[in-house]
Amino acid sequence: MKHVLSTIGCLGLLYQLTASCNSPKETNEKNALSGKLSTELIERPTSVNSDSHSLHSLGYMQFEDTLHNFGRIHEGEILAYEFSFVNSGNKDLLISEAKASCGCTVPEYPHQPIRKGEKGSVKVTFNSQGKRGYNEKSVILYTNGNPSSYTLYIQAEVGDAQ
């Protein structure tokens, strides 16, 4: 009897795992049939419709630079750099999220839409405490534009504390 119950339990678990592992396309199709929209449509519209005509009508972040090298710094210094950009696309641009590669790196970005032709900036702060040696950190920005993500980099050579 225990063996039968174990087998039934395993089969139930297997069914749940396979049912919950739908591909994004299957999930979007199910949501469309039920009248629900995927949030992916709002956060990253390029993932839904990739024809070139619609992509040119989205926002586009044109950065002055995407890499900043702080050079040689002392351990414990906290430095910041602002990456400037302009929305050179045809629609308002919204940054939905910014993810840093390390807890020592903190991004600050505008939470309001950046209109066509407007300038903006993303501030990246680096805390060098405990980061001796060469450091390269990144911040990934997720937008509703084309492309839907951008990567910014900072570099520093961290030496002895002051």
Residue-level length of the chain = 162
In-domain check, residue 24? no
- Give the pLDDT score at 7: 52
| pLDDT score at 39 | 46
Give me the pLDDT at residue 54, please: 54
Residue 29 has pLDDT above 80, yes or no: no
Residue 8 counted as domain residue:
no
Closest Cα to residue 59, out of 153, 152, 142, 151?
142
Q: Does residue 38 lie within any of the structural domains?
A: no
The verdict on residue 42 lying in a domain is no
Distance CA 46, CA 147 (A): 7
Whether 129 maps to a domain, the answer reads yes
> Is residue 124 assigned to a domain?
yes
Query: Is 32 part of a structural domain of the chain?
Result: no
Task: Encode pLDDT of 99-149 as tens digits.
Answer: 999 999 999 999 999 999 999 999 999 999 999 999 999 999 999 999 999
CA gap 129, 77 in Å, rounded: 7
- Per-residue pLDDT band for 160 (boundaries 50, 70, 90) equals confident
- DSSP for 114-149, written as a single string: BPTT-EEEEEEEEE-TT--EEEEEEEEEEESSSSSE
For residues 83-121, one letter each, b for 16 or more C-beta atoms within 10 angstroms of the residue's C-beta and e for the rest, the string is: bebbbebebbbbbeebebeeebbbbebeeebbeeeeebe
Say whether pLDDT at 16 is over 60: no
CATH number, domain at 151?
2.60.40.10
Range(s) of the domain holding residue 79: 61-159
Type and span of the H or E element at 84: strand 78-87
Number of domains in the chain: 1
Q: What is the pLDDT of residue 56?
A: 58
Asked whether residue 12 is assigned to any structural domain, the reply reads no
Q: pLDDT digit string (tens) for 39-86? A: 444 445 544 444 444 555 899 999 999 999 999 999 999 999 999 999
